Structure 1
Amino acid sequence: MPQSVHDHVGAFVLPLPSTAARDVALSSKSHFCGHVVIGDGSGRGAVAGVPPRVVQVESYLELCWCLCLSVRADIADLREQMQFDWFDEDGEVHPHYFDLFVTRTDGTRIACAIRPTAWIGGKFGRKMPRIAAQARAGRFADDVRLLTDADLDPVELHNAWLLHGVREADPMADEAAARVLADMSGTASLAELVTRTGCGAAGFRALLRLIRWGQLRPIHHERITSATVAYKGSNL
């Protein structure tokens, strides 16, 4: 029997499925919704130990927060639409679906509700404190956070989109970047490091992957460009 394409090195492999407790709409005439693949490799398996996974989002704000959280160094796992059953003042039980649920590298679990600033009042504002208190008391999560558009850091968001776009490995460029990193001491601009790789634009993308994995770290909190100065990270 001939081998499946999945048996060949570098063959396309589907990302892990969504872990959502409920599915979001595939399309809508009234608001943004869709799927995004997070993790490393993006369809060709894990590159840096974080397998690609489908995450469902039902607003552009959720997508932005998903990308930002997915590339933070202290986030070990990210899930979406996690169900928590809470009870109201009459004792009636209702399901609440947290938009994102993250686990930090220290094991702390944080349930996240994501809403535009303009939508945090009204019914949501009245019931959310009760839901949060029950989630903490029931050890569903160690903490509950409300994430809004006002909390988004535009620099972090820009870099998250940039790093999200370079998930796919390029073996030759990645090997060249790894050699440059191994020989690196002190600081250097990404433009200098690209020259050392000898891989041009592919070398720049490979260096961005090293930043994504924490092996190369920008000195300043800024939008990452070729002028960004970086140093060797500690998690090598």
Structure 2
Amino acid sequence: MLVLPHPTLATRSISSSSPYNYRGHIVDHERNIELTFESGLERNALWLWLASTAIVMIQEQPAAVEYFDDDGVLHHHTFDFLAVTHAGRRALVDVKPAALVERSNIVFVQQLIREQYGTSLADRYLIRTEQHMHPDDVADAKAVLRACWVPDPDADAKVSKLVQQTSGWLLIDDLVNASGLKAAGYNAVLRLIRARHLKTSANKPISYDAHVRRVPASH
């Protein structure tokens, strides 16, 4: 049965007539809710956060925050995202091109909000730019999430059993060939990477030519 995702909870509306409007949606399949982005950077940030098992909730454009400037004038600021970790730590995040950070005065705005609210709103106040989003990491996140959108417990079990019989680094292509599952085997590898049962080699994007190794079970 088809279950449509819940609509976005974003609070900020964007004029569709604006020449700078770049709005789209990504579905958080685990929570079955649409998440809105307003730029390519925001889209990439969402890919990365959704692929991370450390993040359990993302709210785009949470309710605006009131704050006072040094002259006592009241202002409002809407953060781009609120992210919550498994440990319950909350981060309010602004996403901007690095070239616009200084001009936007966002560092000062966040400082004022932090001083006036402390940890009552969030445990951390962050600014994220393209410097925090390597294209390879974004591509990996998209690939992993797409694999998670087509769950296949049987394929996961078969590839996981193969992995348990190995030691050292393995070429993903060899692991997929050993499974005999072709694309389903590759998707299973991606899901095992996200579940942290497999570790990828550093500084190389995930592909059939990349290497992985088994992560020992923690005791």
Instruction: Give the Cα separation in 2 of the matches to 1:93 and 1:138.
Output: 20
Q: Residue 71 in 1 paired to residue 43 in 2? A: no
Pairwise CA distance, 1:75: 2.2
- Determine what percentage of the aligned residue pairs are the same residue: 26
* Distance change >3 Å, CA 52–CA 206, structure 1 → 2: farther
Pairwise CA distance, 1:223: 0.5
Instruction: Give the Cα separation in 2 of the matches to 1:144 and 1:55.
Output: 20
Pairwise CA distance, 1:68: 1.3
RMSD over equivalenced CA pairs, Å: 2.6
> Match for residue 210 of structure 1?
192
Instruction: Give the Cα separation in 1 of the matches to 2:151 and 2:86.
Output: 27
**What are the equivalent positions in structure 2 for 1:55-94 lying under 5 Å apart?**
55-83=35-63, 84-94=65-75
* AA partner of residue 205 (structure 2): R
* Distance change >3 Å, CA 12–CA 235, structure 1 → 2: farther
Size of the alignment, in residue pairs? 215
Asked if the contact 2:8–2:36 (Cα under 8 Å) also holds between the matched residues in 1, the reply is yes
Match of 1:37 among 27, 30, 48: 27
Farther-moved stretch of structure 1 (54-63 vs 160-169): 160-169
Pairwise CA distance, 1:221: 3.7
Pairwise CA distance, 1:116: 0.9
**What are the equivalent positions in structure 2 for 1:1-236 lying under 5 Å apart?**
11-24=1-14, 29-38=19-28, 42=29, 50-83=30-63, 84-125=65-106, 126-135=108-117, 137=118, 139-171=120-152, 172-233=154-215
Instruction: Give the Cα separation in 1 of the matches to 2:93 and 2:168.
Output: 38
* AA partner of residue 12 (structure 1): L
TM-score of the pair, normalised by structure 1: 0.77
Pairwise CA distance, 1:76: 2.7
Farther-moved stretch of structure 1 (210-219 vs 182-191): 182-191
Gaps of 5+ in 1: 1-10, 43-49
> Match for residue 8 of structure 1?
none
Pairwise CA distance, 1:195: 1.3
Pairwise CA distance, 1:188: 1.7
Q: What's the secondary structure of 2:93's corresponding residue?
A: strand
Instruction: Give the Cα separation in 2 of the matches to 1:104 and 1:156.
Output: 19
* AA partner of residue 69 (structure 1): W
Gaps of 5+ in 2: none
* Distance change >3 Å, CA 27–CA 187, structure 1 → 2: farther
* AA partner of residue 35 (structure 2): V
What are the Cα deviations for residues 87-141 of structure 1, in whole angstroms up to 9, with x where unaligned?
Answer: 2334444332111111223332111111112211235345343234334x25201
Q: What's the secondary structure of 2:136's corresponding residue?
A: helix
* AA partner of residue 182 (structure 2): G
TM-score of the pair, normalised by structure 2: 0.83
* AA partner of residue 10 (structure 2): A
Pairwise CA distance, 1:69: 2.0
What are the Cα deviations for residues 118-171 of structure 1, in whole angstroms up to 9, with x where unaligned?
Answer: 211235345343234334x25201111111123322331221222233232242
Pairwise CA distance, 1:187: 3.4
